[in-house]
Structure 1
């Protein structure tokens, strides 16, 4: 079967490798308008069915030899026993203890968090460069006026999905700041601080005090627009927890959010399918969502919790909290 995939992000790249392994002919269309970060967080410390999506993603990364590096994580704040049990059921080791360098009790997790070097995955995918045009009624995709022959079209264009094919989602800007702290452990641990309201992740994993911190308010905006950020709110939260640090650089990209801030997929036209709404946690659930989409295309199986039809009665909406926040 011939497939055309629009978008070479985590979702599109995962689909490319799954489909080519199964013997299908796959062409990927990529506009190169979105930056690719070297590494992103993959965490099993989610809740509900998202944990299973994250497990499927982890299996994919291992199967296709995507580089990863595991780190211990600290979760500060109350987490229900049901959620903790979910983490343990997928192999995460959990203990609770006082951690001196953050001056707080914390849930210490081993095997739950890692950096996945998504750029290695994405840059390995060959592509046709250009902006795609899609006719949903005819099931046709073109680049520069030239049709790309395909039996099935899959749209995974992230924040461009709402304007490209009219799905129920919005583009928003998500960002984080590189900092330097004298607390060296920040460079070798994940921190999820639900009391103060921020996260911290290692940069390269050395105990140097270099970390990336985030969880500022989502800023709704069409992709590519210049966005004004209130960085001090997040910096104040981090300062309350770890004391003095030096902010070095802030960067971000546009993400795609759905009304319930959970992934979305489905059939949207004649032989046209959509997968997206990764809501800032694409490295966790992207490959897992890709598998659900292929189960729909190949077997007719539907996972209703993530199926796009759940938004059929939704009008306008506001971007909410990203779902990796417990």
Structure 2
């Protein structure tokens, strides 16, 4: 089967390798105008079925030799016992402990968190570096590049925050951001911290014991991709200081993400020859390959997981973006 994937981010790149493995002819279109960060968080400390999507994503990274680096994590704040049990079911070791360097009691987890070097995955996929145009013709679409038709039996819309600009889907684009900070404890570059009491997260910067880490969980800002967005880093840093002590702002950076009405991922069939994957809501490294595996099953076998189907948003005319899924 000839399959064209429009968008070569985490979801599109995962689809490329899964479909190639099954013997299909796959092309990926991506103008490469989006900045790709070297590493992102992969965590299984999510909730509901997202935990199992994260597990499938980790299996994908291991199968296709995408580099990861594992770290312990500390979760501070009340977490439902059922959520903790789901973490244990996917192999995470969790114990409640007092953590002296945080001056707090928390859930210390091992095997649940890592950095995944997504840029290496994305850069490894051959792409046609052009913008695609989509035109609906009845219950199908035509896709063109530079006014020339791109021939395929199946097209997949996987452009993240650009999805709703290319085709009418019930999602919004927003700016997600975090700050690099200098601190006084090298453990912050070797540990994930999820603090639901103070309202921030901290993740390793390089994971080599430097006194640098990344803190985030500021407010989402609804905006079109490419828009200049101004944020206040102190919104997060001041909260993190209450737990982590002295922090010195180095710089703040971000990119545009795609949000759904329930801030969970989505996939589905839009037209006879057009499929969708997206709504990764800032946690694409955790669940992107897992959702891609669901879409592969839909395209090739007709299977559906209704919990993640895009049509669950039918009838919703407008919505406000909620919290990202790391915020339990």
Interval containing the TM-score (normalised by the shorter chain): over 0.9
Show CA shifts across 1:116-138 (max 9, x none).
00011000000111111112333
Q: How many angstroms does 1:114 deviate by?
A: 0.4
Name whichever of 127-136 and 145-154 sits farther off.
127-136
State the Cα deviation string for residues 84-112 of structure 1 (Å, max 9, x = none).
Answer: 00000110001111111111001000000
Pairing 1:209-228 to 2, within 5 Å after superposition: 209-228=211-230
- Give the deviation of 1:166 after TM superposition: 1.0
Task: Give the drift of 1:38.
Answer: 0.3
Query: Does the 8 Å contact 2:178/2:254 carry over to 1?
Result: yes
Report Cα offsets for 1:6-31 as digits up to 9, x if no partner: 00000000000011111111110002
- Give yes or no for the alignment of 1:29 onto 2:32: no
CA distance in 2: counterparts of 1:152 and 1:228, whole angstroms: 39
| Cα deviation digits, residues 260-294 of structure 1 (max 9, x gap) | 00001111123000000000000000000001111
- 2:107 is paired with a residue of what secondary structure? strand
Partner of 1:324: 326
Q: Partner residue of 2:243?
A: 241
What residue in structure 2 maps to residue 5 of structure 1?
A: 5
Does structure 2 conserve the Cα–Cα contact (< 8 Å) formed by 1:136 and 1:268?
no
Gaps of 5+ in 1: none
User: Where in structure 2 are the equivalents of 1:20-99 lying within 5 Å?
Assistant: 20-99=20-99
Query: Once superposed, which parts of structure 1, at least 4 consecutive aligned residues long, lie more than 4 Å away?
Result: none
* Shift in Å, 1:319: 1.0
CA deviation after TM superposition for structure 1 residue 209, in Å: 2.0
Residue 235 of structure 1: CA displacement? 1.0
For the Cα contact (< 8 Å) 1:136–1:272, is it kept in 2?
no
> Are 1:207 and 2:209 an aligned pair?
yes
Which residue of 1 is the match for residue 270 of structure 2? 268
CA contact (8 A) 2:237 2:247 kept: no
Counterparts of 1:235 and 1:298, CA distance in 2: 46
Query: 2:55 & 2:257 partners in 1: Cα distance?
Result: 22
**Alpha-carbon distance in 1 for matches of 2:155, 2:210:** 46
Counterpart-to-counterpart distance in 1, 2:34 and 2:322:
22
CA RMSD of aligned residues (A): 0.8
Q: Distance in 1 between matches of 2:202 and 2:121?
A: 24
Deviation at 1:168, TM superposition (A): 0.4
User: Contact 1:136 / 1:270 at 8 angstroms: preserved in 2?
Assistant: no
Structure-2 separation of matches of 1:270 and 1:309: 15
Would you say the 8 A contact 2:4–2:154 is kept in 1?
yes
Cα deviation, residue 32, structure 1? 1.4
The 3-state SS of whatever aligns with 1:225 is coil
Match of 1:158 in 2: 160
Tell me if structure 2 keeps the 8 A contact 1:292–1:303.
yes
Tell me the CA shift for residue 313 of structure 1: 1.1
Helix, strand or coil at the partner of 2:71:
strand
User: Which deviates more from structure 2 when the two are superposed, residues 137-146 or residues 92-101?
Assistant: 137-146
Matched, 1:315 2:320: no
Cα distance between partner residues in 1 of 2:297 and 2:326: 24
**Alignment map for 1:63-212 (pairs within 5 Å):** 63-137=63-137, 138-212=140-214
Alpha-carbon distance between aligned partners in 1 of 2:168 and 2:65, rounded to the nearest angstrom: 35
Instruction: Name the CA distance, whole Å, in 2 between partners of 1:116 and 1:278.
Output: 16
Q: Distance in 2 between matches of 1:41 and 1:222?
A: 24
Determine the C-alpha separation between the residues in 2 that align with 1:222 and 1:170: 8
